[in-house]
A and B are shown apart, each in its own frame.
Chain A
Amino acid sequence: MFERLKTMLVKEFTQLLRDPKMRFITFGVPVFQILIFGYAVNTDVKHIATAVCDLDNSVRSRELADRLQQSGYFDIVRRVGDQREVREIIDRGQAKAVVQINHGFEDAIRGGKRAPLQIIVDGTDPNTARIVLAYAVTIAGRFSDQILVERQIRSSGIIRPTGMVELESRAWFNENLESRNYYVPGVMAQMVLIVTMMLSSMSVVREKEIGTMEQIVVTPIRRWEFILGKTVPFAVIGYINVAIVTLVAAFWFDIPFRGNLIFLFVATGLYLLSTLGFGLFISTVSRTQQQAMMSSFMFTFPAMLLSGFAFPISNMPQPVQYATYLNPLRYYLYIIRGVFLKGVGAAVLWPELVGLLVLGAIILPFAVRRFRKTLA
């Protein structure tokens, strides 16, 4: 009873693997994407180009500048002696941050007064600016603490215990806070979406476009045989992508995989219901492959932006947050990160699984029903 389905699958795989473009999209693009997110795209802020405008030119001021440099976060690229140069350095982008130490800095410290220190950051990219400021605050604070300790030693010769709060910070799941750990597994969600939705819809529309559909509709092939024949190959490729991304992430980038592989595959299956459903839907509204591709992009971009892949959902306005519940990517991305970094499974992630199941159970039957009308 599965003969026609088998025939369809043999044909689809033969066509897929024969086309060099498709081979590249299937196997090359995922690797390419991981490399981009693994190496190139990085939200870690280190080695910020910094200029120092030291108007005090004292031991203390040089010591502070040295501290900044030693931290590894600031690279002092320019030293200027004139305030007027500061603006130009920022305008030209020669430095992202300028630290200004005013005349009298050392005297103020010695005299037990407040010694002002100014940092100017390029706020064009607010995220980076915020991180730079946080680093500067920490370094200045430590410097201040050290002065306090030195003063105690000088005045009394001993370190008296003072009531100070010491923060012991630990980041769970991603101990070194590396952004690649966050982004690389997410590539899988993106790849599966693109491959299953875009390629499956294009594959159906291609048959309409080149006229082979006309021949197919006069054969006794059943609708479900045709639909499965058009979706199963892309589901398989989706799984291959998941495998490629997992392997490269774990063994090349040393991204921890703490969860259960089988759980990930089950979750992928639920995700596929939605992505293939959307793909099938697109194939019913598109007449040419180009239309199918454009429709897929129109879906992919908002889906990516509103998935929490790069921008946290909790920062979005409330109505938009509600809208993300309709986005299968949102659930799958949360699952992937949970499985990779946290090592949690169905006990924790069941709401996301249910979300995917419900979406799939709505979209897929809807698309299948629409599909009949276009076939006739």
Chain B
Amino acid sequence: MCSQKNREHSPYFSHGDLDNTVTLKELVKRFGDFTAVNRISLDVKKGEIFGFLGPNGAGKSTTIRMLCGILRPSGGSGTVAGFDIVTDAEQIKEHIGYMSQKFSLYEDLTVEENIDFYSGIYKIPAEKKQPRKEWVIAMAGLAEHRASLTATLSGGWKQRLALGCAILHEPPIIFLDEPTSGVDPISRRNFWDLIYRLAADGITVFVTTHYMDEAEYCDRLGFIYRGELIALGTPEELKTRHMAEEIVEVLCERPQDAMEIIEELPGIRHAALFGRGLHVVAERAVEAIPAITARLATAGFQAPQPERIVPSLEDVFVSLIETKDREAAPQQEFER
């Protein structure tokens, strides 16, 4: 273990596990009978953008709250920036930035007053206060609004200001809990540009989202469903390795009707509307393609040859969830 002094003077210094800023082992959180987070283990490397994906209520926020030291785990262990999430919760708070889905700055304070407040709360040294403040204002593009009440700012500005306030103290890791919910697409794009810049500076970014396009921007992803981590890897890995089935794209008229017919074919797991066509999840594409072509022709559909495509993250996610549900269903029956 390193000395206390060393930790405090180097914001990017991570001790213990040198490559990983977040390590979780069998992390569990139960609320009464309900298990919100069920034995999650993962590692996040320094400078990585780690995306935490899952539907609402899957346990994303609960996990982040445990990592930020504001919720005590029921079991398992973990470290953040080298500090134990159970015993060193207060030290963790000095070394992380956190931004939630809900705008949580003071609307009745001006941009500068909000920055000054967090600057004081994080005890930023006097000589660094002004440069850090200017940096945040420049980063958020708020030079002309520095004296405006925060309530008068638009969504995108508020969000960038919130991010700025969360990283005033130059934490080595930031947690973003659905940071782009309720923000327009252009602001979302700008926001991700900021995140890339932070990651390029060596800051680890741990972000939750349920936007699949945002997931593509991440270096690595973890899929969480019903409190369990069901897949972990880079977007490429997830698309190529984590799916047992293959995806066949079918472009045709009346895709709704076609979907019903196709789903009855053997070897087809299921089909879903996707843009102007269908994404068919098949056990083996080579067998499915001629079968679909033949079946559609007899039913009188005008359709070009179906093609096997690389699954999108959404395909992967949907497939993983369905697999999980299939496994869970009989088990639940049995439990009853």
> What is A's interface to B at a CB cutoff of 8 Å?
3-4, 6-8, 10-11, 14-15, 18-19, 210-221, 376
List of B residues within 8 angstroms of A212 by Cβ: 104-106
Chain A's interface: helix, strand, loop or mixed, by majority? helix
| B93 within 8 Å of A (CB atoms) | yes
Q: Tell me whether A14 and B113 are in contact in the complex, defined as CB-CB below 8 angstroms, given that A211-B104, A212-B104, A220-B94 are known contacts.
A: yes
Tell me which of B69, B93, B121, B166 has the highest count of chain A C-beta atoms within 10 A of its own C-beta.
B121
Instruction: Report the 9 A-B pairs with minimum CB-CB distance, sorted nearest first.
Output: A7-B120, A215-B104, A218-B98, A220-B93, A211-B102, A220-B94, A211-B104, A218-B68, A219-B121
Docked-complex contact A4 and B106, CB < 8 angstroms: no
| B96 within 8 Å of A (CB atoms) | yes
The contact sample of 10 A-B pairs, CB cut-off 8 A, is A4-B120, A4-B121, A6-B120, A7-B116, A19-B108, A210-B107, A211-B104, A214-B104, A216-B121, A220-B90
Docked-complex contact A15 and B109, CB < 8 angstroms: yes
List of B residues within 8 angstroms of A219 by Cβ: 93, 118, 121-122
Q: B residues 160-176 with Cβ under 8 Å of A?
A: 165-166
Docked-complex contact A215 and B105, CB < 8 angstroms: yes
Docked-complex contact B117 and A7, CB < 8 angstroms: yes
Q: Tell me whether A3 and B120 are in contact in the complex, defined as CB-CB below 8 angstroms, given that A19-B108, A210-B107, A376-B71 are known contacts.
A: yes
Report which of B93, B105, B117, B123 forms a contact with A218, defined as CB distance below 8 A: B93
List of A residues within 8 angstroms of B118 by Cβ: 219
Report the minimum CB–CB distance from A211 to chain B (whole Å).
4
Report which of A15, A217, A221, A376 forms a contact with B106, defined as CB distance below 8 A: A15
Question: Which chain A residue shows the least CB distance to B126?
Answer: A3
Report the minimum CB–CB distance from B24 to chain A (whole Å).
18
List of B residues within 8 angstroms of A14 by Cβ: 109, 113
Q: B residues 199-252 with Cβ under 8 Å of A?
A: none
List of B residues within 8 angstroms of A217 by Cβ: 70
| B159 within 8 Å of A (CB atoms) | no
* Complex alpha-carbon distance, A56 and B317, angstroms: 106
Docked-complex contact A214 and B122, CB < 8 angstroms: no
Question: Which chain A residue shows the least CB distance to B117?
Answer: A11
Number of A-B contacts (CB under 8 A): 68
Report the minimum CB–CB distance from A131 to chain B (whole Å).
51
List of A residues within 8 angstroms of B90 by Cβ: 220
Q: B residues 55-112 with Cβ under 8 Å of A?
A: 68-72, 90, 93-94, 96, 98, 100, 102-109
* Complex alpha-carbon distance, A14 and B149, angstroms: 12
Docked-complex contact A11 and B107, CB < 8 angstroms: no
List of B residues within 8 angstroms of A7 by Cβ: 116-117, 119-121
Q: Tell me whether A215 and B109 are in contact in the complex, defined as CB-CB below 8 angstroms, given that A4-B120, A11-B117, A220-B90 are known contacts.
A: no
7 extra A-B contacts, CB within 8 A, seeds A4-B121, A11-B117: A10-B116, A211-B103, A215-B98, A215-B104, A220-B122, A220-B123, A376-B71
Question: Which chain B residue shows the least CB distance to A5?
Answer: B120
Report the minimum CB–CB distance from B298 to chain A (whole Å).
58
Report the minimum CB–CB distance from A354 to chain B (whole Å).
38
* Complex alpha-carbon distance, A19 and B149, angstroms: 12
Q: Tell me whether A221 and B108 are in contact in the complex, defined as CB-CB below 8 angstroms, given that A14-B113, A376-B70 are known contacts.
A: no
List of B residues within 8 angstroms of A11 by Cβ: 106, 109, 113, 117
* Complex alpha-carbon distance, A15 and B70, angstroms: 26
* Complex alpha-carbon distance, A218 and B120, angstroms: 14
List of A residues within 8 angstroms of B121 by Cβ: 4, 7-8, 216, 219-221
List of B residues within 8 angstroms of A376 by Cβ: 70-72
List of A residues within 8 angstroms of B109 by Cβ: 11, 14-15
Q: Tell me whether A211 and B123 are in contact in the complex, defined as CB-CB below 8 angstroms, given that A18-B108, A19-B108, A218-B70 are known contacts.
A: no
Report the minimum CB–CB distance from A272 to chain B (whole Å).
25
* Complex alpha-carbon distance, A218 and B122, angstroms: 11
